[in-house]
Each structure stands twice: as C-alpha cells, then as structure tokens.
Amino acid sequence: MSNQKRIYQIAKQINISHQEIVSFLIEKGFDVTNHMSPVDEETFQVILKNFASDLYQIEQDQKELDRKALEEQRRIEEEERIRKADDEKSARDIEERQRREAEVQRRNEIEDAKRRVEVERVEAIERAKRELIEAEERKLAEAQAEIEKEDLEKQKAAKKAAKPTILRPGEDLTIKPEETLSDKIIAKKIERKIKHVVKASTSADKSKRTKKRRTFDQKEVDASIKKVMTSLDTGKKRKRRREGKQEDIVEDFVYRVSEFISVHDFADLIEIDVADIIGKCMDMGMMVTINQRIDQDTIELLAAEFEINVEFQDDTLTNVDEEIAQEVLDDTELESRPPVVTIMGHVDHGKTSLLDYVRKADVISGEAGGITQHIGAYSVSVGDGKTITFLDTPGHEAFTAMRARGAQVTDIVVIVVAADDAVMPQTIEAIDHAKAAGVPIIFAINKIDKTGADAERVRRELSERDMLVESWGGKIPDVEISAKFGTNVSDLLEAVVLEAEMLDLKSKASGRARGIVVESRLDKGIGAVATVLIHRGQLKIGDAFVCGDQSGRVRALKNDKGKRIKVAGPSTPVEIHGFGDVARAGDNLVVMHNDKEAREVSKQRQEIRREQDFKRMRHMTLDEISRQISEGKVKEVPLMIKGDVDGSIEALADSFMKMSTNEVAVRIIHRGIGMIKESDVLLAAASNAIIVGFNVTADSNARLLAKADGVEIRYYDVIYAAVDDVYQALEGLLEPDVMKNDIGTAEVTELFKIPKIGLIAGSKVISGVARRDAKVRLVREGEILFDGALNALKRFKDEVKEVIEGNECGISLKDFSKINVGDTIEFYTEDIVKRKLGSTPKL
C-alpha cells in the first residue's frame, strides 16, 4: 500500500482535473470511485500513457539511466576488488622478497660471524705462540747469563790452577730433559750457546796466554749443561714420583681445587707454567686466556694431561661452615629430641585427613581441590609429655622434589596406602625416597571403613616389592586405620613413638642453631617468610643467620599454630620473619656470630652462584644451538611462573619440563615468588611468553600492560589444572600426521597429444573411483615416477569431478608428461590426524 498513489495526487502531478482521470478509469473498467481512490503501479502507467506521454517517456529514460548507473557502480566495485587483490598479491610478493633478503642477510651474518670467530681463533693462536716464544726467549737469556757467569768463574779458576778438572769414576752427568717440545728446543739452544762460549773463551785464552794454556774436555761441557738445565727445571718440579726416582713429596699428592678457577690460579696451584696450560687447552681445541675461568670438565682433562690428582671443593662453604661440619659433639651435651615424621603416599589416599584427625583441626578444607599444594610442618602432643613433628608432603605426581626433600629431613616415614586403591605410582615413589634416605618406614593402611576395602591386597602388593609387613611375619610395622573416623590412629601413634625410642634420637639443644628450610613464601604485609625445621641448637629472636645465599636477622618466630614464640629448639617447625629475600626450599640455615659475618658469607655465596649460573646458562645456550642445528628448529612454549611458595613453583617447573620432547619443548624463562608485576609482563612480552600465576594475582598496572601488549596471564590454584593446560598447548604445536587412503586405480590404455593442453592419458578405471580433487601416483614396474596433483580429469570432452570403476577417462598430470601405455595411476586422499604428546610422527 505504501507504493500506491491516489488519483488527486496524480492529477496534480500531470496538471489535469482529477474528474477526467476518474471518468477515464471507469470507462476502462478500473475499480475506482472518486479522487481519493488509490491506484497501483500498473494503473499509474496507463494514466501516464494516456494523459502525459512525455512525462512517461521521461520516467522511462530515468529508469534506464538508473540501471546504467547501477551497472557502472558494480563495474567500478569489481575493478576495485581486482585492484585490491593485485595489491595484496604484490604485498605478499614484496613480503616474500623481503623474507628472502632477510634470510640471505642472516646467512651472510652467520658467515661473517664464523669468519670473525676464525680470525679471533687464529689471533689467539698467534698470541699464545708469541707468549710461548717470549717465555722461551726469557729462559734462554737467563741461561746465557748463567753460562757467562759460570764461564767467568772458570776463567778465574784457570788462572790459579792450569790443570783440568778431575772427574770421579762412575759419575753420571747425563741429563734427562723434560718431554715437552719447548724444553727440548731450549736445551738445544743452550747447548749450542755453551759450546760457542767455550770455544770463544778457549781461543781468547790461547791468544793471550800462549805459555799458560788450559784444556777443556767434553765432560766439563756436559757438567755445565747439566747444571744450567737443573737450575731451569727446579721451577717445574712436581710433587710426585717420576720414573721411579724418589722426590721430596709422595706420589699421590692431591690438589684441592674449586670449579671455575682461573687459568693463572690453576697454574700456580699445580706449579706448572701458564703457557703450558694454555698450550694444552689449544691442543684440546679450547681457546683460553690467562685470566679466564675454566669449568670442572676442563680441569679434569688438564689434570689427566699433566698426570696430577685433583679434588673439587665447595666454594660456597665458609670457614664457619667447615668449623660446624667438623664440630665433634660431646655425648654429655646431647639431649633427647622429638622425632620428625613425614607422611607420604599417593594423591587422595588420606594423608592430610590423617594429620587432620591427629591435630583435631580442619586442614584439608583450606587446600585447593582438596589436594596438598605444599609441605606443612606441625608439632603434635601424643601424651606422656611426648611430642611428634609431622611433615605432610603432597601426593600428586608433580611434587616429586618435595617428597624427596621431605624424606631427607625426616626420622620416620609413614606411608599411607588406601585399602580400596592399593599400591599406586606415588606410593612406590615414596617407598623409594624412604629407602634412599635410609629412614624406617611404617605403613598406614587407610580407608578400612569403605566398602570394597581390601587390606590383604595392599600387603600382598607390598610384599611383591620386597616390603614385608609385620602382619605377614616381616619387620616393617603396619596399622589398619580409618583417618575419617579415627579408628586405630592411636595404635599408629604408638608405633611411631616405639620406633622413635628404638632410634634413640638426640641432638644438641644449646648453642648456635642450624636448620633446613621446608617451605618459603612472600607475604604481602610481612615480606619473605620461611618455614624452617630446627635440628640443632636454639634459634632466638635477634639471631643473625645465613640461609643459602641470603642473610637476615630473626625478627619474629611463630610456631605451627601461629602463636609467637621466643625460642625454637631441635625438631621444632617454626616460621621465621626477617629474611632479606625469599629463601629456597632445602637451603640450610646457620646462625652466625653477628650481622657482618652473615652478610659477608651471603655476599660470597651470591657472587659464586651468579658466576656458576652464568657459566651454566652459556653452556646450555651453546648446547641448544648445536641441537637445533643438528635436529632442526624445535617449537617452544616459553613460560614465566609466579607463585606464592617456592615448593609449588619448583613442582610446576619440574612438571612442565618433563613434557618436553625432541619436537616441542617448554622453556622456563623466569620463576619467582610474589604478585605478578609490570616487570614480569615486560619480560614476558619481550620473550613472547605466557605468565602462569599459581595462587597469586596480577596488580592493576600489570593487567593493563598485559592487555595492551597482548600478554596472556593464566591463573591457577590447583597444580594439575596448569599441567593439563600446558600439555594441551604442547600437543597443539605438534605437526599432525598425514594419513594416505587409496580410493581408486586407473590403467593407461593410450596416449593423446592435444594442442595447448599437452599429453592426455586415455585410461580405464579398474578399481574404486578416480576423483578430480584427489592426489595421484604414477607407478611403472613397481616404481613411483610421479606423486602429485591432477591437471585435468575428463570424460569424453567434459570436465568431470569423478569417474567410477569400469569407465574410461582422460587424465592429465600437473607438470609431468613422461607417461607410457600400461602405466598405473593410483588415486588417494590425505587425512590430517592430530597427534598426541609422546607419539612419534608417522611417515
């Protein structure tokens, strides 16, 4: 209705009376009544033809113009589309050309770098040679001066006594020069110089003293040579036996060296010339300078070359550490201490629930996903004034390092095994850790209250692993318990107390404290905090200490219940405030005499650690370059890990690194404790890394910067969720497998040459189907001559998509024309199959 016009509007438009239009339409049989009647487009055109033919023609012309304008617009749009496509193609060509130029430039840079390295190597060789020559010239000059002095003394003696020197019968003046080439050269030069000097002095004596003539025999010359060579060799004597000749020091002398010692210091230590050390390194293909530090492998190779014995010592040990390590404790100073018991076992077997019942506190509700994420240390009173210190370790497979650390600091290990699940992988691992640490084991067979619980199955599987429990006549205690209802938990504690009494655990309860860091974290309001298990002495507020390469002073002590205490004794887990930075789990804490001593030890250890980290980082980088050159570029997932505690970060990093294969790898660019900050985002952006936050968040500035730079931040509070996500990311980087499926076979019966097309193979499909979009193999006498795509597939003169079995067709191969009658053409398709991590690519 919106397109219809009324009669009075049309009359006004063509400037006639509306009554004339009404009368005309009624005569023509149109259904109208008055000037307000609407008319459709067809009626409107009839009115125009009859009353305004010129206006009708104008309207028709206008429509034609509109149509042409629309066609012109479409043509322009098509040309614009074609132009953009050409521009995109040109841009791709330019980009490809730039890529090729960059590749050529990169290769040229590599070649330039190789040439520079070669030039530097040659210069280093020449420099080392010059140093050797200068050293030889200095030795020769010293020898000449010694010879001239000796000759002068002989001339003075000849004036007093004209008779020759008398040698004792049987005296052996034969020298045995060193085996090195430089010493042989020096010896030859000295011998020639001595003979020249003796000859010159003899001629002078002959001309000056014709009456008083002195004669020199060969033995005198040999004696002079031996004396000079002996004086040269005194600086090179080694403290060992040589060729059965007894020297001052015994043969098996051991030199104590430290890793990353300088070449100069190593040469001074073993009393060998620096030039000889540099020469040996050159012979082994290593270019070193006099002040360069060498690693342990190089030191061992040099020791083997020079036939000496070396023993490596820890540079991070100070005199205080050595004093404490060598300290002999008096039995009268030792007092009984509580046992340290570590609870271990498979994930979700009830370790934390057992400790929860013992502590009468809900611990597990605070753990993410009901799984222990870090080591917890607690002291529990079991009556009769006796105390047990419990360590609760995670059971998830990612926390192997934590369980190993827990086994190293413990006295007794309680391994929890679920009666409805029996022995599992982490159960076996816990047994291995306890065996390696040499600590006694007690098995707690948990969940006996559940339907389907089978304690005998647990004992049977343990016996299969050489762990025979007391219930089966063995020596390892076992107790059936229900941690949920507390069944027989008291019996388990009695077994622990009995085992501790048999061990007779004692420690020095006074003096400077020593302990080990069980866990560390960064608290927002307090700073660096660490949970430390004291195993000797007393730790008091105000004590200066060093822990690993960090130093500090004890500002506050808290027990496992969060209460402040003033003193912590042996086997006491305590939370320490006062660290300068976050300590590493497993580091030893040692109380020092004062803050100055603690800072000095910390500074020394930090310098050594920085140097060792730099050396190892450089070594790993070279290995990585070599591996990528030999095996091809490896796809990597760079990650940055930030967490709330050191142990969880360590577990995450270990789990991620275990996923790496020879095709895809995880690269940890940084790990740290605390909130994600702007500096972390900047580092991740520069490395194209993903930030993994474990129980931490990012501050507002870091979130804004990450959004602007496109840095992805993932947050987790359960470790296996992070492991699963990274696992899937690595799987996505794997190259997929290509499966080839044969769909048909055709046999060439005759050949046709068609102008502008080329050779057409007249063929018959003998099996399956021949498809235009499939790939083909041309086989002749069992040998594949072509493997590629079709150029055309025809049935008679028409292009077809497929030809079924029994029909004839024409086949043209792309960029291949060496086809003979009788050849077989096999049609196949390729299916892309996603690979799983750990699977090998199918060829």
Tens-digit pLDDT profile for residues 734-749: 667 778 888 999 999 9
Give whole-number Cα distances, 72 to 46, 61, 83, 85, 213, in Å.
31, 16, 16, 20, 128
Identify whether the C-beta of residue 554 lies closer than 8 Å to the C-beta of residue 543. yes
Identify whether the C-beta of residue 462 lies closer than 8 Å to the C-beta of residue 418. no
- Name which of 490, 568, 484, 583 is nearest 528 in CA terms: 583
pLDDT greater at residue 583 or residue 611? 583
Give whole-number Cα distances, 279 to 288, 512, 665, in Å.
9, 49, 40
Tens-digit pLDDT profile for residues 407-419: 457 888 899 999 8
pLDDT at 228 over 70: no
DSSP 615-672: HHHHHHHHHHHHHHHHH-PPEEEEEEEEESBHHHHHHHHHHHHHT--SSEEEEEEEEE
Give the per-residue SS3 of 771-801.
Answer: ECCCEEEEEECCEEEEEEEEEEEEECCEECC
Q: Which of 224-238, 632-646, 703-717 has the highest mean pLDDT?
A: 703-717
Tens-digit pLDDT profile for residues 73-124: 888 888 888 888 888 888 888 888 888 888 888 888 888 888 888 888 778 8
Give whole-number Cα distances, 91 to 86, 96, 105, 406, in Å.
8, 8, 20, 61
For residue 171 the two structure tokens come to 């005296």
DSSP 684-733: HHHHTPEEEEES--B-HHHHHHHHHHT--EEEESSHHHHHHHHHHHHHHH
Q: State residue 363's pLDDT score.
A: 46
Query: For residue 261, what is the DSSP state?
Result: E
Distance of CA 56 to the CA centre of its chain: 84
What band does 615 get if pLDDT is binned at 50, 70 and 90? low
pLDDT greater at residue 146 or residue 456? 456
Over range 305-323, report the average pLDDT.
69
Q: State residue 614's pLDDT score.
A: 58
Give whole-number Cα distances, 760 to 22, 420, 775, 800, 803, in Å.
75, 72, 17, 15, 16
Over range 328-342, report the average pLDDT.
78
pLDDT at 178 over 80: no
pLDDT at 655 over 70: yes
For residue 708 the two structure tokens come to 């602007």
- Name which of 223, 215, 221, 218 is nearest 171 in CA terms: 223
Tens-digit pLDDT profile for residues 499-515: 888 888 888 888 888 88
Q: State residue 214's pLDDT score.
A: 40
Identify whether the C-beta of residue 452 lies closer than 8 Å to the C-beta of residue 536. no
pLDDT at 684 over 90: no
Q: State residue 769's pLDDT score.
A: 92
pLDDT at 789 over 50: yes
Q: State residue 216's pLDDT score.
A: 43
Identify whether the C-beta of residue 531 lies closer than 8 Å to the C-beta of residue 644. no
Q: Which residue has the tokens 């769909």?
A: 743
Q: State residue 562's pLDDT score.
A: 82
Q: State residue 763's pLDDT score.
A: 92
Tens-digit pLDDT profile for residues 636-652: 788 889 988 877 787 78
- Name which of 584, 533, 590, 582 is nearest 376 in CA terms: 533
pLDDT greater at residue 234 or residue 757? 757
Cα separation, 18 vs 134, in Å, equals 126
Over range 431-460, report the average pLDDT.
86
Tens-digit pLDDT profile for residues 527-547: 888 888 888 888 999 999 998
Q: State residue 330's pLDDT score.
A: 66
Give whole-number Cα distances, 195 to 147, 178, 188, in Å.
10, 21, 11
Give whole-number Cα distances, 717 to 381, 713, 819, in Å.
32, 14, 65
What band does 5 get if pLDDT is binned at 50, 70 and 90? confident
Whole-structure pTM value:
0.47
Q: Which range (593-607, 658-672, 785-799) has the least confidence?
A: 658-672
Tens-digit pLDDT profile for residues 53-62: 656 666 777 7
Average pLDDT of the chain is 76
Q: State residue 710's pLDDT score.
A: 86
- Those residues whose C-beta lies under 8 Å from the C-beta of residue 376, and which sit 6 or more positions away, are 355, 363, 391, 392, 519, 560
